[in-house]
Structure 1
Amino acid sequence: MSQYYKYDFVGSFLRPAYLRKARAAYNNGELSYEELKLQEDNAIRDLVAKEKAAGYHVITDGEFRRATWHLDFIWNFNGINHQIERGNETFNGEVAIIDSVHIDGKISVDHHPFVDHFKFVQALCDEQTQAKQTIPAPGQFYAIFTGQDEIENTKQYYPDLEDLRQDIINGYTKVIEDLYEAGCRIVQFDDCTWGGFVNPQIASSLTGLSQEELPAYMDTLIDINNAVIDQAPDDLTINTHICRGNYHSTYFSSGAYDAVAPYVFAKQHVDGFYLEFDDERSGGFTPLRYIPKDKHVVLGLITTKSPFLENEEKVIQRLTQASEYVDPDRLSLSPQCGFASCEIGNKLSEAQQWKKLELVKEIASKAF
């Protein structure tokens, strides 16, 4: 079965109201984990049925077992302190309500629960579908703990950051081995680091580094990702998704890919790229020239940030423009990000969410 289709989606979906209510009850100590899991199981079965009915071939659990796209994965590593303290990241004027995360020991991983999450979805596949597992990129993991706000705490446990780098690589290698053993053949590295680095000012603010120091840091992030990818089985497809923030229909950063393309496009050993291109904040398609000729590109031309349905002809025109830099055989269409990178979700209804995916499929059937 092909690992790429002409229409696709990133991974997360709006949580049903009953599931959000159940998780809130669990967090308040009013519902047991077993009862919450039963609700999650039911919601995921229903979601997968809808994904199949919509004609999609690569399916996910919608990230229904997570509070956020990235932190739940990180919290399940040893050496991580999960504190309920709301973060202060600002997304276009809106403060994100997200728990914080800190290192409090050496990083390692035993049995990661995401492997069990994958197995549940895998069991729902049929001959027309295959499951993919979305996780934050290894470089994203490293960037969180070496950023300006966390570096001093991190150095208490990792005076030599090379040791942190190696422990992250080792942890990810084990998780990927376990996913592969469970039958996983598609992994997606979600990596918002590059969505921040497209803006040099934000890049310096996040890292505390000068503009002159940033290239070496970006190389480090790529090297971490590549070290994990290069140890993965040959028949495991590893893609990456890049966006500029997706919290409650707001964004974190703006800027074209030009500043990061020589790193993330040219040097990264992934098989394909899922890229945000839904509005002018992403710039033009020229940076796609850095993507090697053997990579697939999934263009996120449909926004998940609003219920507005894009004009089909204009999207097809943009696909034609992109084909000047990437062969049409290696192009696909998708939304620019998930519908609910965090549990709060974006500002559209579930019905509007499925209308968006119907539009993606309809445009792809005409364009390719």
Structure 2
Amino acid sequence: MTQRKTPPFRADHVGSLLRPAELHEARAKARRGEMGAEALRALQDRHIRDAVAKQESVGMQLVTDGEFRRDWWHIDFIHGFDGVELAAGDAYGDAKFKNTEEQPPFMTVKSRIRRSKPSMLEHFKFLKSVAKRTPKFTMPSPAMLHARGDRASLRKTYPDLDEFWADLTQAYREEIADLYQAGCRYLQIDDTTIAMWGDPKVQEQFRKLGDDPKRDAAMYADAVNAAIRDVPEDMTVAIHTCRGNFKSTWLASGAYADFVAERVFTGLEVDAFFLEYDTERAGGFEPLRYVPKGKTVVLGLVSSKVPELEKKDDLRRRIDAAAKFVPLENLCLSPQCGFSSTHHGNKLTADDQWRKLGLVLEVSKSVWG
């Protein structure tokens, strides 16, 4: 068994990193009008350079920009398209993040979705310019606008849902095409719905909206496939799913539902799956039996939510357990999610974060050489 030379890597990570205190302070100043956009960007550039250098120095084969320019992992990217606006509201209904009053803002669809300008192309261009290892770019699934957006405004703008998906996935294809031209060869799409369908409360929330969770799961998979249908063969596309990650809290509990695993794992035209498996909330590895032969599963066994380090032997045992369903050569290891899916960050320190990534590297070497 050997380490991999192409993504996903044996030791990988989802993408976001804890923001340095200076960036938190600068963001607050910018919101108050005390710092201009250029000054904020220059500061972000410096900290991204540092984060990239740190990832490379600890031995990661991939690097990300830590999502340092984003407030929210999903909203900022989608808000970059024409027609999508933000408002105060409740995007989560009864399925809210636990142990916190703060919830994400509400995405609304005020006019037809178009990509008159790139959403985050410049983010990737800067990352690539400072990276010596493989730069990975992350973007939310197109499903997130339907799953976490305002349905009333969506229906008003798009009485025909097929037209909504056509416009949205076209915007995605344009962004992805430009990312490829800029040199992106490792793309990760983040979609929390895949994991959350296993929670009865989440299913009930969607039924209250008039949805059928089984139909939605298939519809969301179709949307992802439409977004990536023109991806060249030399671009690796992975999809990541978790049960929510906001200030070390979560949205959902429950194993990967069979109706989702069967439809999504077999139907998504991606190269790899990043799957949350750091706690018992994720259930067992049995749903992995639906993963097609030849596709890679990146096991999210290390928690980005807590500072305590997992035991190496426990991680190796869990990798062996997963290998009963997916061959060991098709497995990799990572944290279950990012360390800072939103600008707030999870409840651990930067030192904790790097120790976690070091653990991923150490265990991957002991398993795969």
The aligned counterpart of 1:331 is: 331
CA distance in 1, matches of 2:193, 2:243: 8
Query: Does the CA-based 8 Å contact 1:187-1:237 persist in structure 2?
Result: yes
**Deviation digits for residues 114-162 of structure 1, max 9, x if unmatched?**
1110000101122xx11011000122233233xxxx2222111111111
- Other structure's SS at 1:20 match: helix
Q: Which amino acid aligns with 2:357?
A: L
Q: Which amino acid aligns with 2:98?
A: N
Query: Does the CA-based 8 Å contact 2:221-2:264 persist in structure 1?
Result: yes
Query: Does the CA-based 8 Å contact 1:10-1:241 persist in structure 2?
Result: yes
**Deviation digits for residues 329-353 of structure 1, max 9, x if unmatched?**
1101100000000111000000111
The aligned counterpart of 2:112 is: 106
The aligned counterpart of 2:363 is: 363
Counterparts of 1:275-294 in structure 2, within 5 Å, are 275-294=275-294
Q: Which amino acid aligns with 1:227?
A: A
CA distance in 1, matches of 2:65, 2:320: 32
Aligned pair 1:36/2:40, yes or no? yes
Counterparts of 1:119-198 in structure 2, within 5 Å, are 119-126=125-132, 129-145=133-149, 150-198=150-198
User: Shift of the alpha carbon at 1:34?
Assistant: 0.4
Change (3 A) 1:252 1:77: same
Q: 5+ unaligned residues in a row in structure 1: which ranges?
A: none
Q: Which amino acid aligns with 2:327?
A: D
Query: Does the CA-based 8 Å contact 1:278-1:302 persist in structure 2?
Result: yes
CA distance in 1, matches of 2:305, 2:218: 31
Q: Which TM-score applies when normalising by structure 1?
A: 0.94
- Other structure's SS at 1:301 match: strand
Aligned pair 1:91/2:90, yes or no? no
Query: Does the CA-based 8 Å contact 1:285-1:325 persist in structure 2?
Result: yes
Change (3 A) 1:242 1:327: same
Change (3 A) 1:207 1:140: farther
User: Shift of the alpha carbon at 1:210?
Assistant: 6.6
Query: Does the CA-based 8 Å contact 2:137-2:188 persist in structure 1?
Result: yes
Query: Does the CA-based 8 Å contact 1:142-1:165 persist in structure 2?
Result: no
Q: Which moved more, 1:133-142 or 1:12-21?
A: 133-142
Q: 5+ unaligned residues in a row in structure 2: which ranges?
A: none
Query: Does the CA-based 8 Å contact 1:204-1:210 persist in structure 2?
Result: no
CA distance in 2, matches of 1:339, 1:206: 28
Identity %: 39
Aligned residues: 361
CA distance in 2, matches of 1:4, 1:345: 24
Q: 1:22 aligns with which of 16, 22, 26?
A: 26
User: Shift of the alpha carbon at 1:102?
Assistant: 0.8
CA distance in 2, matches of 1:209, 1:34: 42
CA distance in 1, matches of 2:313, 2:43: 41
Change (3 A) 1:362 1:225: same
The aligned counterpart of 1:257 is: 256
Query: Does the CA-based 8 Å contact 2:8-2:272 persist in structure 1?
Result: no
Q: Which moved more, 1:257-266 or 1:165-174?
A: 257-266
Q: 1:117 aligns with which of 108, 115, 123?
A: 123
